[in-house]
Structure 1
């Protein structure tokens, strides 16, 4: 069974603004390529796509689209990320199953990873991106994605999309 999670995908103009703000990525960090950028709503682990898809369709039925923007950078241990802001993100994530994990839901878009014992590697980037604000967008769909290990890294693939009601 594949590893599954639900997410929002940033539109091309937002991904372009993020890439422009980053500029030339520094060595020492393992940068996520733009085609893998997403805002995780909920992580399900190994699960059946059909079963999880039906469950998610039921949970998201009738939910409204959400306004989103990316802003200032922050870190978790070993992870550099941008804050995902939007008043309805957390309720949407909880509807999609967030909260089942022990840690609180923090909406974000992962930019890069670094050795946990070297947090200074990310300081330049949290400073550089402290004033960053992306164009806003209205997320009109949630995607169910697989995370598949392949030679050379992990590949994410959309296996199903769920439309949100336009406001």
Structure 2
């Protein structure tokens, strides 16, 4: 099964993004809101139990992170919202993002489009310019995998709680 770790936005943030998008139009292949997530690390084909056994100690004691979705951007073939959050890169590194061949760039994928037709998403990037969600605290990292059933493309397999730091304490280990 293809596995990855992610942070999942709370329902009110998902609703705010959906409201900002309005009725998605033709052109891009839109990701359904129930699939929206912020990938921390992608593992490809992997065994769920083995990956969970590696993640548990790597994420143990890690602090929760405050996260906010920001304006739009594109990668070749992908329309996304940016993500800010102090401690997010360190959390992604602990989850294994440092093993990937590309630098970590937190984002929430909204749609995919043909790489040779970036103009198909220009109206959406203009619409979402200036968008910013409320800041929320991510209290868990979720191990996710591709779903084999109709409905959402991904399913939650396991959750790894993040520690809520006490005020005045250390913000993050490592």
Higher-strand-fraction structure: 1
Runs of 4+ in 1 over 3 A off after TM superposition: 148-151
Corresponding residue for residue 88 of structure 1: 87
- Number of residues of Structure 1 aligned to a counterpart in Structure 2: 165
Cα distance in 1 for residues equivalent to 2:48 and 2:37:
19
Superposed counterparts of 1:16-165, under 5 Å? 16-148=15-147, 155-165=153-163
Stretches of structure 1 lacking an aligned partner (at least 5 in a row)? none
CA deviation string 1:4-31 (max 9, x = no partner): 1000000000000000000011100110
Other structure's SS at 2:132 match:
coil
Cα distance in 2 for residues equivalent to 1:104 and 1:150:
32
Shift of 1:126: 1.2
Question: If the length of structure 2 is used for normalisation, what is the TM-score?
Answer: 0.91
Shift of 1:140: 0.2
Cα distance in 2 for residues equivalent to 1:125 and 1:13:
21
Question: If the length of structure 1 is used for normalisation, what is the TM-score?
Answer: 0.95
User: How has the CA–CA distance of structure 1 residues 47 and 109 changed in structure 2, closer, same or farther, with 3 Å as cutoff?
Assistant: same
Stretches of structure 2 lacking an aligned partner (at least 5 in a row)? 166-174
The Cα RMSD (Å) is: 1.3
